[in-house]
Structures are given as C-alpha cells and as structure tokens.
Structure 1
Amino acid sequence: MAFNDGDFVLVEYDLWVKDTGSLIDTTDEEKARKDGIYDPRERYGP
C-alpha cells in the first residue's frame, strides 16, 4: 500500500511492553477496559 502527500491515514494500534506483556496504550476501547487501562477522557478508535 502506498501513500501520497496529503493522504489522511487512520491507524488502530495496541502498545505492549515486551518484557512484561502489559498493554499500556490502545485505540480499542474494549481492550482498554479488559486490561484495566480505560480512561473515560480518552477518545478510542482509529
């Protein structure tokens, strides 16, 4: 997939700590709730 100058890209991600396997950030609200990192002030989604 190639991108061009001016393209708008939506990204979904999960950020894990390699050594501990802990989820520390995500765009997925369900995962955030499940792993206890949900923050109602955050906006979830791509």
Structure 2
Amino acid sequence: MFDAYVLRRRVTMETIFDQLKILSGTAFMTQKYSPITSILFFLHR
C-alpha cells in the first residue's frame, strides 16, 4: 500500500532537484554563476 506522504515527498524532492539542475545549468550557461550563487539569487527574487 502506497504511503501518500512519502510519495508526495519523493515527487517534491525530484521536482526541487530538477529545478536546481535547470537553474544552475541556465546560470552557468548565461552568467557563469556557481550553483550556490544561482540558488541564492533565485531565492532572493
């Protein structure tokens, strides 16, 4: 039997990692930011 909380949490983590990959990739391609800088920049907006 599926635990809805665990499933939702796993999906959330995967979504976060996808966002971070896209974010760090885009920042690296455009501005040459480090992933941490891009994360802070993203959280600041």
Q: Same fold (TM over 0.5)?
A: no
Structure with the bigger percentage of helix = 2
Structure with the bigger percentage of strand = 1
Q: Which has the higher contact order (CA 8 A, sep 6+)?
A: 1
- What is the TM-score of this pair, normalised by structure 2? 0.32
- What is the TM-score of this pair, normalised by structure 1? 0.31
